[in-house]
Amino acid sequence: MRIGIDVGRATSTAVLVDAAGGVLAEAVVDSAPRTGLCVRRALAALGPLPGPVGAVAVVTDLARRPPRPRPVAVLRIAPGSHAALAPLADWPEAARTALGGLTGVVAGGSAVTGGSLGPLDRDGVAAFAARARDAGVRVFAVCAAGAPARPGPELDAAAVLAAAVPGASLSLSYETGAAGLRERESATAVNAALGGWAEELVADCRAALRSARIAAPLCFARDDGGLVSAEYFARHPVIATAPASGCAARGALARTGLDRAVVVDAGARSVRCLVVRDGEPERSTRLLPGPFGVRLALGAPEIVETGGAEAATVPATVARLRERVPGADVLYTGGRAEAFGAPAGPGEPAAGDREPGTGGPDTRTDPRTTVLTGAGAAVRADARSDAARPTTGTAPAPYGHRPRLTDAARYAAGADCRIEVEQVISAAGRAELDQSLAAVRDHALSRCVAAGAAPGSVRIESLTHAPVAYLPAGVHRVTVRAAGAPASGGTS
pLDDT digits (tens, 9 = 90+) for 85-112: 999 999 999 999 999 989 999 999 988 7
In contact, 46 and 24? CB cutoff 8 Å: no
User: What is the percent of the chain with per-residue pLDDT over 70, rounded to a whole number?
Assistant: 84
The whole-angstrom distance between residue 411's C-alpha and the CA centroid of its chain comes to: 13
Q: What confidence category does residue 355 fall into, taking pLDDT thresholds of 50, 70 and 90?
A: very low
**CB count in 10 Å sphere of residue 159:** 13
Q: What confidence category does residue 177 fall into, taking pLDDT thresholds of 50, 70 and 90?
A: low
Give the pLDDT of residue 288: 84
Give the pLDDT of residue 390: 31
Highest averaged pLDDT of the listed ranges 103-112, 278-287, 397-406? 103-112
Q: For the chain, what percentages of helix, strand and coil (3-state, to nearest 5) are there?
A: 35, 25, 40
Distance CA 236, CA 172 (A): 10
Pick the range with the lowest mean pLDDT from 9-13, 210-214, 253-257, 282-286. 282-286
Q: What confidence category does residue 255 fall into, taking pLDDT thresholds of 50, 70 and 90?
A: confident
Distance CA 73, CA 82 (A): 20
In contact, 69 and 40? CB cutoff 8 Å: no
Q: What confidence category does residue 404 fall into, taking pLDDT thresholds of 50, 70 and 90?
A: confident
Question: Higher model confidence: residue 35 or residue 345?
Answer: 35
How many residues does the structure list for the chain?
492
SS3 at position 207: helix
In contact, 141 and 71? CB cutoff 8 Å: no
Q: What is the pLDDT of residues 119-153, one digit of tens each?
A: 999 999 999 999 999 999 999 999 999 888 889 99
| Distance in angstroms between the alpha carbons of the first and the last residue of the chain | 14
CA angle (457, 247, 14) in 5-degree steps? 90
Give the pLDDT of residue 348: 42
Q: What confidence category does residue 393 fall into, taking pLDDT thresholds of 50, 70 and 90?
A: very low
Pick the range with the lowest mean pLDDT from 233-247, 309-323, 414-428. 309-323
The arithmetic mean of pLDDT across residues 197-226, rounded, is 94
Give the pLDDT of residue 176: 84
Distance CA 284, CA 182 (A): 17
Give the pLDDT of residue 148: 84
The distance between the two most distant Cα atoms of the chain, rounded to a whole number of Å, is 73
Tell me: pLDDT of 394 over 60. no
Distance CA 413, CA 46 (A): 14
Give the pLDDT of residue 180: 83
Give me the DSSP letters along 336-395.
Answer: TGGGGT----TT------PPTTS------S-SS-SEEEETTEEEEE-TTSS-EEEEESSS
Question: Higher model confidence: residue 357 or residue 344?
Answer: 344
Give the pLDDT of residue 337: 61
In contact, 35 and 197? CB cutoff 8 Å: no
Give the pLDDT of residue 225: 81
Q: What confidence category does residue 344 fall into, taking pLDDT thresholds of 50, 70 and 90?
A: low
Task: Find, among 242, 258, 257, the residue nearest to 292 by Cα.
Answer: 242
Tell me: pLDDT of 114 over 60. yes
Give the pLDDT of residue 70: 93
Q: What confidence category does residue 342 fall into, taking pLDDT thresholds of 50, 70 and 90?
A: low
Q: Which residues of 61-97 are buried (b: 16+ CB within 10 A; e: fewer)?
A: bbebeebebbbbbbbbbbeeeeeeebbbeebeeebbe
Burial of 398 (0-12, 13-18, 19+ CB in 10 A): exposed
Tell me: pLDDT of 352 over 80. no
